[in-house]
Structure 1
């Protein structure tokens, strides 16, 4: 889907639907705008139900100030206009009150984006705008002044958050990524706090060697097309279930021998199509396409483990609370968790970069999952269904472990019970 070719009305309606359905705004809260090539601002209407918003409800405020549409423009129009004046490179703005970011807003703090490399890349330094009356020119100036310092995401004191981007889809990725980060940090506080990466570690991630030679030609076989469809289906499902966000996460499936298909780098995961999936054959990448930065990690896992047919690495917020706190992920809690996950080891950040063989040699039938500190969870399986099920169980288990900290001390299943599980289900 060429999203940039959609009319501004359609783009705004599409993104507002995603924000609302993913619980990041309320019926009355939040607003979105786009500045078009002619200087017109397209914006969501005032006082309209975000759950039923359609393209025809979007309002246009012309460069000369004339309003066109069935409704009044959002009462927060002044700060959208102020941001565009102060930051000519910003062409889209999203404002809403997602719960985790509001938590930061009301304690007057900003999320630390150094928790994982992708968060730093997409969100950068998060600004802070002092409180002003909603809808006022003063609020517009407060936010715009913060944007003028170079921030693309701003926490609004006792209000919510606002993000900008060169287009609406970039702004949405930034918005979603920031809420994910805030949620992961809040969860980690229940586990004792979080650890951050140094700028040097983040640079090492960005500079890792992920180049594969380009294939001279690519042949698309019927079984290969089926794999593309399965990957796209489960990536969409992962996003819908908040197991993956639009800017993070990789999925691959073995095709023939050590050849496989994998999601691309840089594209919005929510809108990946069959033609975006990248074929890796004989150590070469499909002509004209660039695979996920995790491609060499996936390649090494397949080469070391012939029984593994699928790999997902992603950053769901409860699991990543363990990833950024480095707290033990205790799977010996209920039978399903241990049967599907086994004991989950931690991998030091950096041991997954540039062909390091730590993870490929660690992963096995008895260790199907590993958590890379401050990066992701790596989940493997004999097929997509088994792998995805493990991912879901990991995230559900992580959430239960986090919430149990408020109730009392965890009591794990004893070794005798574990031995019984192994005897019945794992031999």
Structure 2
């Protein structure tokens, strides 16, 4: 199975695939949203007006030629005017997404521009966000107001007053990743505000983290792919796609690794869209060296140390589900003592300071001697386990529990179990 190269797909295939992902992930409705691609010859391919987004096909995608000729089975989206206006204003942008995902719409109707510096990579992906005054949908006036914001080259994403969001990209995947990441930020901020105050990172913290890539990772070329190693690659890809489909991972962030032999392991690559990872993208790490021709996840060193210091751990998932991240960016204790089953699976979950996973790898790795899950402030959640499916199950339990705690915060103070109840659980379920 070869890596999916979206850039090599025809515009109608790209638009159909990305709109399908947006709809299935609950970020647009049957009738809402529109996306487009501008070809080098000036033609604009765009979603149709009045066609069900849940059953869209490549045959439904419209083409508006450079001379204005319309080709296709339907009418182009009614929002075509602002797509055209953005392309004219920013020739370097070749793809545009407009939709009404719930959290971004919440910011648009509150007239607030989200601060994406809740986790480092989000700000580097989304950049600064513009805000366009209200205009009647489908009107030339709206197009002019949006294009006016895009004249400022700091902006590749603009909140539309009482309407939603519009984003541009150098290609369709660039635009989609910006869209998905921005909605993740907004959902996380909303949930974090239910729990308490949101802690934002400084510009210096963002810059330091984003530039923190593994330096001088040695590589090896005598690579072997025996059947058990290939089976593990396939299992990892299945888990990654499952995590993406269930909203536990987004395309721009998420690391999965699994021990293969002794302390050698397999890990996800750096800078490959998570949903599109295939077995051949997975990086083999042997004796601290990565297989030639591939760049491993930036957290490779930490995964390696966790395996070395914790023989009972055979798989690790690091990701950013919105409810766990709401706790991580608000500094609110993730108290699993509120739900018996959650405590049995996860035990107590400590939170560690931002940056520690890179500044003190040994200390963090040792924490997994006694902890199955760690929250990293303004960064991520690390979940460990024996088999990959067990680890994924723990991740699901943790995020479901975090969701319940976020919702409970709107009802009243949390009522956790006491020490006696916890000790009873420890005895009854033989929890060490």
Check whether TM > 0.5: yes
Between the two proteins, the alignment pairs up a number of residues equal to 426
| 2:82 matches 1:101 | no
Gap regions ≥5 residues in structure 2: none
Following TM superposition, by how much is the alpha carbon of 1:198 offset from its aligned partner in structure 2, in angstroms? Answer: 0.8
Alpha-carbon distance in structure 1 between the residues aligned to 2:280 and 2:427: 44
Match of 1:138 among 133, 138, 141: 141
Note the 1:36-115 alignment, pairs <5 A.
36-115=39-118
Alpha-carbon distance in structure 2 between the residues aligned to 1:297 and 1:126: 33
Match of 1:315 among 308, 312, 320: 320
Alpha-carbon distance in structure 2 between the residues aligned to 1:424 and 1:39: 68
Match in the other structure for 1:147: 150
Question: In 2, are the aligned partners of 1:209 and 1:354 still within 8 Å (CA)?
Answer: no
Match in the other structure for 1:24: 27
Following TM superposition, by how much is the alpha carbon of 1:281 offset from its aligned partner in structure 2, in angstroms? Answer: 0.7
Question: In 1, are the aligned partners of 2:301 and 2:361 still within 8 Å (CA)?
Answer: no
Match of 1:117 among 107, 110, 120: 120
Alpha-carbon distance in structure 2 between the residues aligned to 1:231 and 1:88: 39
Alpha-carbon distance in structure 2 between the residues aligned to 1:249 and 1:2: 19
TM-score by length of 2: 0.97
* SS of structure 1 residue aligned to 2:318: strand
TM-score by length of 1: 0.98
Match in the other structure for 2:174: 170
Question: In 2, are the aligned partners of 1:265 and 1:290 still within 8 Å (CA)?
Answer: yes
Q: Which moved more, 1:131-140 or 1:346-355?
A: 346-355
> Residues 354 and 223 from structure 1, CA distance in 2 versus in 1: closer, same or farther, beyond 3 angstroms?
farther
Alpha-carbon distance in structure 2 between the residues aligned to 1:209 and 1:143: 36
Following TM superposition, by how much is the alpha carbon of 1:170 offset from its aligned partner in structure 2, in angstroms? Answer: 1.1
Question: In 2, are the aligned partners of 1:33 and 1:92 still within 8 Å (CA)?
Answer: yes
Match in the other structure for 2:163: 159
Match of 1:179 among 155, 176, 183: 183
Following TM superposition, by how much is the alpha carbon of 1:423 offset from its aligned partner in structure 2, in angstroms? Answer: 1.5
Alpha-carbon distance in structure 2 between the residues aligned to 1:374 and 1:12: 33
* SS of structure 1 residue aligned to 2:228: helix
Question: In 2, are the aligned partners of 1:210 and 1:354 still within 8 Å (CA)?
Answer: no
Runs of 4+ residues over 6 Å off in structure 1: none
Following TM superposition, by how much is the alpha carbon of 1:217 offset from its aligned partner in structure 2, in angstroms? Answer: 2.7
Gap regions ≥5 residues in structure 1: none
| 2:386 matches 1:382 | yes
Following TM superposition, by how much is the alpha carbon of 1:36 offset from its aligned partner in structure 2, in angstroms? Answer: 1.1
Alpha-carbon distance in structure 2 between the residues aligned to 1:173 and 1:280: 27
Alpha-carbon distance in structure 2 between the residues aligned to 1:204 and 1:416: 45
Following TM superposition, by how much is the alpha carbon of 1:424 offset from its aligned partner in structure 2, in angstroms? Answer: 2.4
Partner deviation per Cα, 1:251-294 (whole Å, 9 max, x = no partner): 00011111110111111101110101111111111110111111
Q: Which moved more, 1:389-398 or 1:291-300?
A: 291-300
Question: In 2, are the aligned partners of 1:297 and 1:355 still within 8 Å (CA)?
Answer: no
Following TM superposition, by how much is the alpha carbon of 1:357 offset from its aligned partner in structure 2, in angstroms? Answer: 2.1
Match in the other structure for 1:356: 361
Alpha-carbon distance in structure 1 between the residues aligned to 2:29 and 2:213: 43
Match of 2:195 among 191, 198, 209: 191
Note the 1:244-323 alignment, pairs <5 A.
244-323=249-328
- Aligned-pair RMSD on alpha carbons? 1.0
